[in-house]
Structure 1
């Protein structure tokens, strides 16, 4: 049976008080709509239609980039005349057979298992609603059921929007989440019969329930595993609440795997994080993109790690920033990084490398045991084993138009405050005297010094500030 998925993402989100379309506001580092589309990827849909409206160009462009390989199509709702009107815009692209699953772009944490259960509850012949019981149902459409009898459970007969509900109906705590699955052929007919004679003058998707009852289509309910799955976002406060719920859930999954988090309330995962055994993560750390931590890795407080592989036994001291971007960063076994270090794209560190405070490494490889412990820069460099790179030293890798490479052999000692003007090679065992500015290769095993002779001027006096 064919499956079509419609995601409603046309709303302006007035309460967000932002010029950005609501569905592009980020949760865990990704737009809310990206979470929903990502969840649908494993459902095997033949059609995936996103209804856009406010900020349609920006929404469509962002999703085309993020899901270039997905069978993604768009339909625009202009003007926005309600949820029923939104789904009506997708009708020309829907087939006549199969099931249509309707999701919301501002309900980002729906699980694939819940969406699949909703489709199965429909079975191609029933109207299946995703409902949940909330302590505070304010703002949600209420599920109105028939009275139970001795022979049957109470069945759904209608959904009443909060603004149209009576006091008795507002007391109902079972609410409609905005998500449903329906036989596509019947859904098309029900959408065509929608009317806007309600308090808002809009076409409500929820009115298809009454159509189903009238047409003899069974109306059934499915339920999420957790209410967090079905919470929508209409304000910055709601987005922040959902962010913390999501982060707490991710933290708990990691702790179940044996990861030690100093405080799960101060942990942020905005991508994927794979951890080995006995990993320790201190407070206020942020992980973005794809990150893997080997056995016994320790991450100090206030670190940011993005697109990086950190091998077993490495220690990342507090306030270190690792950003692998597209090229990635690798930190070898037993390495010590930071505090206050910065590893940029292309930094590939071997085993037992030391990168200390206020040292920046970009597009460079450091072999086993190399050390740059203080206030240094290594860019576009190949550094050999056991190199000692002095405080204040830099590779001058950019000539204003092109980047050039510095090659430092094994067992080289670079003194403090040196400038290595690339392209340049320092031979194995070379020693570079402190304060040298070097523009020529340094021979292996020799001391190379490139600095002017000190001059002292007798009788020189400092300038004196003139009175005003």
Structure 2
């Protein structure tokens, strides 16, 4: 059966107190709307339509080719919004209506709602709440829904009803088109309400059924920063639970953030306050220390990432080899490719550099645009001067080279295998293998010199 999906994304979100359209606020590093689009795509609809309004250009740019955008200008209610997409809907099948600010509805729940419609019934997504204050109540007669009664219009008996309407529904497409075009705005707000089609369906004898959501989290919308933060924690706790069930050890699931995808092997441990972004893969026996940020990276078996380390592979990705020790307070930037048992210590930065097995840079150093051989020992305070003000150049360090402390390697330059660079040297020419190279000024002591003193105050 043909399925069309309509996503309501025209609202301003006044309570967000933001210039950004509400549906573009981010949950787990993706916009609310992108979450809904991803879930819609999982249902493989015939077509997906996004209704835009406030901030339409920004929203439409974010949607791109993922759906057809239709503008609602001005915004005159939910029924008016659906009127705008009527010309773009099919002539038969089911239309599923989702909300762009309700990001965590699962594909299974959305699919069940569409199936409850089946192209023949008006199906309303409902949820049972402990406190239903402010929500429209579902008034039933047996299994059939008779009406949605707004809280302010409900009787005392109706206010005892805990089943409420979530704002999402599925309807026979042909009937939906007919119903919404018959809506009127004869109400105090002079808006066209989509919920008015319930009475139309009942009058026509079309069955109106409720499809219950499995939990409250799936149907919670975002109308304020506080609600966004609450939903973020709900999402993160669900992700943490899923990962722990798969064997990942989390020191505290309440202090864990996943903003992408995380895969892991056996016996991996993650301490508190860690953030994973993009695509991250952990091998077996990996340990991640507290407060690390890891983005687009592969971490090999047995590697240890000490606390407060920042790994950002960006588009190029970063690789940490098996048995490597990284941090604390280390930074791996895009293009960092580390072999087995590499040591990157505190306050060491690696960018677009390859370090072969056993290489070490244990503290206070920079390796950028470099190829580093096996077992190299890179001294504290040493840097590759890889940028000449216009172009980047590469430094090549052969196997078993020892670079002393506080050296400057001015690229392009090659250090021969097995060589030693004396501490404090500035190297601007290639060095031979197996030899000591020193390039620094002769030490001089001046006995007649005196230290400047402060001038007396006037």
* CA distance in 1 between partners of 2:396 and 2:11 (Å): 56
**Which deviations, in whole Å up to 9, do the C-alpha atoms of 1:248-284 show, x marking residues without a partner?**
1111111111111100110011110001100100000
Aligned to 2:60: 60
Which stretches of structure 1, 4 residues or longer, exceed 6 Å deviation after superposition? none
* CA distance in 2 between partners of 1:419 and 1:124 (Å): 72
In 2, are the aligned partners of 1:32 and 1:105 still within 8 Å (CA)?
A: yes
Match of 2:253 among 264, 268, 292: 264
In 1, are the aligned partners of 2:79 and 2:193 still within 8 Å (CA)?
A: yes
Match of 2:242 among 250, 253, 260: 253
* CA distance in 2 between partners of 1:342 and 1:121 (Å): 52
Aligned to 1:150: none
Aligned to 1:145: 140
153-162 vs 184-193, which moves further: 153-162
Residue 145 of structure 1 and its aligned partner are, at CA, apart by: 1.5
Match of 1:76 among 48, 71, 78: 71
Q: Does 1:316 align with 2:266?
A: no
* CA distance in 2 between partners of 1:73 and 1:377 (Å): 48
Match of 1:329 among 318, 331, 339: 318
Residue 87 of structure 1 and its aligned partner are, at CA, apart by: 1.3
Match of 2:104 among 109, 113, 120: 109
Structure 1 90/164 Cα, relative in aligned 2: closer, same or farther at 3 Å? farther
Aligned to 2:18: 18
Q: RMSD across aligned C-alpha pairs, in angstroms?
A: 1.1
Match of 1:351 among 337, 340, 346: 340
In 2, are the aligned partners of 1:164 and 1:198 still within 8 Å (CA)?
A: no
How does the TM-score come out when normalised to structure 1? Answer: 0.96
Q: Pairwise mapping of residues 55-454 of structure 1 onto structure 2 (< 5 A)?
A: 55-64=55-64, 68=65, 70=66, 72-146=67-141, 153-454=142-443
**Which deviations, in whole Å up to 9, do the C-alpha atoms of 1:321-350 show, x marking residues without a partner?**
011111111100000000000000010101
Residue 167 of structure 1 and its aligned partner are, at CA, apart by: 4.0
**Which deviations, in whole Å up to 9, do the C-alpha atoms of 1:128-154 show, x marking residues without a partner?**
1111111122332211112xxxxxx34
Residue 411 of structure 1 and its aligned partner are, at CA, apart by: 0.5
* CA distance in 2 between partners of 1:139 and 1:326 (Å): 46
Aligned to 1:28: 28
Aligned to 1:149: none
* CA distance in 2 between partners of 1:31 and 1:244 (Å): 15
Q: Secondary structure at the match of 1:265?
A: coil
In 2, are the aligned partners of 1:160 and 1:206 still within 8 Å (CA)?
A: no
Residue 34 of structure 1 and its aligned partner are, at CA, apart by: 0.6
* CA distance in 1 between partners of 2:386 and 2:104 (Å): 45
Residue 163 of structure 1 and its aligned partner are, at CA, apart by: 4.1
Residue 378 of structure 1 and its aligned partner are, at CA, apart by: 0.5
* CA distance in 2 between partners of 1:317 and 1:126 (Å): 57
In 2, are the aligned partners of 1:164 and 1:199 still within 8 Å (CA)?
A: no
* CA distance in 2 between partners of 1:123 and 1:198 (Å): 32
* CA distance in 1 between partners of 2:386 and 2:136 (Å): 62
Aligned to 2:7: 7
Structure 1 78/139 Cα, relative in aligned 2: closer, same or farther at 3 Å? farther
* CA distance in 2 between partners of 1:335 and 1:273 (Å): 20
* CA distance in 1 between partners of 2:187 and 2:132 (Å): 20
- Can you give the 5+ residue segments of structure 1 that lack an aligned partner in the other structure? 147-152
In 2, are the aligned partners of 1:370 and 1:388 still within 8 Å (CA)?
A: yes
**Which deviations, in whole Å up to 9, do the C-alpha atoms of 1:365-403 show, x marking residues without a partner?**
101000000000000000110000000000000011111
* CA distance in 2 between partners of 1:11 and 1:30 (Å): 18
- Can you give the 5+ residue segments of structure 2 that lack an aligned partner in the other structure? none
* CA distance in 1 between partners of 2:63 and 2:338 (Å): 35
